[in-house]
Structures are given as structure tokens and as C-alpha cells.
A and B are shown apart, each in its own frame.
Chain A
């Protein structure tokens, strides 16, 4: 199934979910943070969609907001979709998907570790790649560290 069809089915079956084709990329569906869990559960359990595999999830810093992207794939139907949730940069919070996909656990810890995204109802949200006592979120664009030197722009 192509992404617009997936979106149509999602909107038809779950009218309360706030979703649209993301303007950034035609291959992704943009969701409201509050409806993420319900939408993901529907995408996984619906017979015609059956997205059984969460390929990965990760955050992107867009300076004025953070985005979390979820790459979903269906082994059964061989189609994929990207979900996009935009979050406030100062208090990024979104529902954890670890109750649906066990693999989400570590990916969410990584997004927390590097970007400071808080995943609500995550079973064990702590740093994973950086040391436990690390200060700050290194993958944010405004992160500063004495060892991080920006190269001058080449012409």
C-alpha cells in the first residue's frame, strides 16, 4: 500500500487521530504527539496494514522544534511508512512505543540520550551510549563542547 492510501485508511477507521501527509517528505505521515500511540497500535494490528516491524526510530533537531521519526515496515505486505511527530524543543515529550514494539525500548533510550526526548511510560529511560553522568544532549545542533570544533565553511 502506498503512503496516501495508508493515511486514508487510518483517517477512515480512526477519525479522532490527527494525521496528515508531511510537507517535508511525501513518504511520511505527520501525527499529533497525543495520537501517536493509538495510530501506531492501529497500524500494527489492522489486517490490511499490519506494520509488524519497527525498523527504527530517531530524532532530528530542526532548530525551532524536534522531530521524532518512526520507520515502520510490514513483513507480511512488504510496504513501509514513516511516521513523524513534531515536538516542542524545550520540553519534548511523547508516548513510548515500547508496549507495542519491544525493540523501541533501546531506540527511545538513544533518542533520550542524544536529544533529550522524554518518552512517557518508558520502562527504563536512561542514557545508553553516553556515560550516565554526561551533561547535555550531544546531537542537538546548539550543543557546545570544548572538543567539538566547527570547521569553517568551504567555498
Chain B
């Protein structure tokens, strides 16, 4: 046997498979990863500092940039927090529209992630399929608010405008088209023997470690805890929706994939129910001042984003600008658990296992 020296490898910040500008400093023993040190902050824009200098309304577009893959949910957590702080009621129709948008965005986000992880396992075609389907969702967003990525659609007390004519039919068409697509992904990708071998038993995250590190969302459910804020601590009108919370037990990469696939089906059902419940009505509470001054105080709101639990803390000193805003983002915790999960893997598996956490860097760095 030769003596093989361990060496360091910088993966990222510019690397095609790190899902953004994440830098992993890897200590390698040949192909095997001995130690991982993640370095973040390359996308730090100090969104929380910017908030000190903006009014409550002005800050909404910044929350789009918090997590551009799922802007609707970042909008949602922020406006929900402001509404709770200022005691503003939201019309029922607006709540339902918000749920439709949040769930459509959840599907779009999961699709993007599925495309990325299929590339990482060496399957190129599904990547094109999921982008095709995602396009339908982006079209729906575009006809609703004019934007395809950073929507700036939610407002304090409602949404910026009502659904456009024809939205209901187009959304119905999308759901009818999309449901068989999930079956297609399962047949083509998930049940493929190569994909299964690349993901089963890889990057196992035990439940107690997941909880200790603050892992949330689909990654936590894949490790065996049936916990979803939409179900366990419902916000908006989720208590009226009927849906299952998919859960798996082994916490490996395959389970994280399966949980998200199942979640897309549940989201379809939630969208259907929300559309069914839509009645004519206001979409925005009238009379909210552009210089909104919430009373002195603080609030912490938690919602379920596609990646996990996103929290928003706001403290108001009674002025038109927030004193302090803090976002608790799921990806931040997920990057911090990577050294634990990826240790001992081969470098090719590392890419897949890290990708299965659906890490989005602008959200980590804020």
C-alpha cells in the first residue's frame, strides 16, 4: 500500500453543482471526503440592515430577493408578520389567493430542485421536463402580477390586485396537465435503478441530529417527524384545507426526494380546494396608510416555505420604519448540518446528498 496524503479541495463558490455561491472546503482522502467546512456569505446583501431604512410597504420587494426561487412564500411570511404586528385583518378572498400562489410557488420550487438533483445524478432529460412544467406556473404568475421571478405580489392587508380573468380555467388546465407529469417523473427518474442506487442510504440524517441542528421542512419529514406548520400550527386559512403531510423514516437522500414528490401532489390538491372556495370579494383591506406605523412591540411569525420553516421577527418602535427585522431561514440551518451529513461520502455522492437539502444561497446569506 502506498501512503496517500490527505489534501484540501475547494468546491465553489463558483461551481456548477453547488446550487449558488456556496463554498465547501473539503478535506479529501482520495475520493472520500474526510471533513467539510462550509463557508457562506458570498451573497450577503444585508437585507436586514436595508430594512432599517425603508417603510413597511417599501420593504416588500426586498423579501422577493430573500429567496428568489419562491418569492411568494417570502412575501407571505413578511406581510403576515406586519399584519400581526399592526393588527390588520386580511379579506378572505386575499387569503385564498395567497394560498394558491404559495402552493403554486411550492410546486415551482420543488420542480427546479428536482431538475437540479436529476442533473447531479447524471439524468439530463428530466431537467428539461421540469422546466417545461415550471413554465406553466410562471405563466400563471405573469398573468397575475406581471413578473416571472420576483413577484412583489402580496401587500400588507391583502394582495396587489385580483386574479385576472381566465386564471381559474388556466390553473385548472395546469393541474389537469401536471398531475400525470408527476407520475412520469416517478416512472422515468425516481424508479430508475440508477437513481435509486445513487440515492438510497446516501447522506443519512438521523432525526435527533436533524432537530438539534434546526433542520425543518421536507428534510425533517424525510428523517421521520410528521411536522408541518401548515398542519400543526396553521396560519392563513390552512386549517380549512385538507391535505396529508408526507413523511418517510430513513432520512437518506432518496427519502428527501420522495417526500418532495409527494408534497407536489398535496399542493395540487390544496390549490384545487382554494380555487373551489374562492368567492367574490375584496382582495385588500382598504385604508392602510402608506406610512404605516405599527404600535411599539415585536412579533415572530413562522410559516412553511418549500425548504422548511421560515420565520420573520419584526420589532417596531412606533415609527414608519421597522427597528429590526430578522429572517430565520431554513437553508441557513441546512448548510450548517452539511458537515455532519456528508462526512465519509465519495465526492460524487456528496454533490447529490448536498443537493437533496434544496439549499438556496441568497436565503442563507440574506
Alpha-carbon gap, A107 to B313, bound state (A): 14
Tell whether, in the assembled complex, residue B324 and residue A60 are in contact, meaning their CB atoms are under 8 Å apart.
yes
- CB neighbours of B48 from chain A (8 A): 114, 139
> Is B345 engaged at the interface, CB distance under 8 Å to the other chain?
no
Assuming A52-B211, A139-B46, what are 17 further A-B pairs, CB within 8 angstroms? A24-B297, A54-B214, A55-B328, A56-B311, A56-B328, A61-B324, A71-B313, A71-B328, A75-B227, A78-B232, A78-B233, A101-B214, A103-B213, A103-B337, A106-B333, A129-B41, A129-B366
CA distance A139 to B326 in the complex (A): 11
Q: Which residues of B contact A82 (CB under 8 A)?
A: 300
Across-interface contacts of B46 in A (CB, < 8 A): 138-139
Closest to A149 in B: B53
Q: Write the residues of chain B forming the contact surface with A, with a CB cutoff of 8 angstroms.
A: 40-41, 44, 46, 48-49, 52-55, 209, 211-214, 225, 227, 232-233, 291, 297-298, 300, 302, 309, 311, 313, 315, 320, 323-324, 326, 328, 332-333, 335-337, 340, 365-366
A70-89 near B? 1/0 per residue, CB < 8 Å? 01000100100010000000
Least CB distance from B341 to A in Å reads 12
Q: Report the bound CA distance from A61 to B55 in whole Å.
A: 19
Residues of A within 8 A of B214 (CB): 53-56, 101, 103
Q: For the complex formed, measure the closest distance between the CB of A24 and the CB atoms of chain B, giving whole angstroms.
A: 7
Q: How far is the CB of A21 from chain B (nearest CB, A)?
A: 14
Residues of B contacting A127 in the complex (Cβ-Cβ under 8 angstroms): 41
Q: Is there an interface contact between A25 and B298, defined as CB atoms closer than 8 Å?
A: yes
A138: B residues at CB distance < 8 A: 46, 49
- Secondary structure dominating the interface of B: mixed
Contact digits for A47-75, partner B, Cβ 8 Å, 1 yes 0 no: 00000111110101100000001010001
Indicate if the CB atoms of B309 and A55 lie closer than 8 Å. yes
CA–CA, A55 to B227, complex, Å? Answer: 14
Cβ-neighbour of A24 out of B53, B54, B298, B313 (below 8 A): B298
* A131 in contact (CB, < 8 A): yes
A151 to B320, CA, bound (A): 12
Q: Tell me if A105 is interfacial: C-beta within 8 Å of chain B.
A: yes
Chain A interface (Cβ within 8 Å of chain B)?
24-25, 52-56, 58, 60-61, 69, 71, 75, 78, 82, 101-103, 105-107, 114, 127-131, 138-139, 141, 148, 150-151, 153-155
CA distance A32 to B48 in the complex (A): 27
Task: Give the nearest-CB partner of A127 in chain B.
Answer: B41
A114 to B49, CA, bound (A): 10
- CB contacts (< 8 Å) of A71 on chain B: these are 300, 311, 313, 328
Give chain B residues whose Cβ lies under 8 Å from the Cβ of A69.
313
Which residue of the partner chain B has the closest CB to A154?
A: B291
In the complex, which residues of chain A have a beta carbon less than 8 angstroms from the beta carbon of B232?
A: 78
| A103→B333 contact, CB < 8 A | yes
- Inter-chain CA distance A87–B323, complex, in Å, is 18
Question: In whole Å, how far is B299's beta carbon from the nearest beta carbon of chain A?
Answer: 8
In whole angstroms, what is the CA distance A66 to B358 when docked? Answer: 34
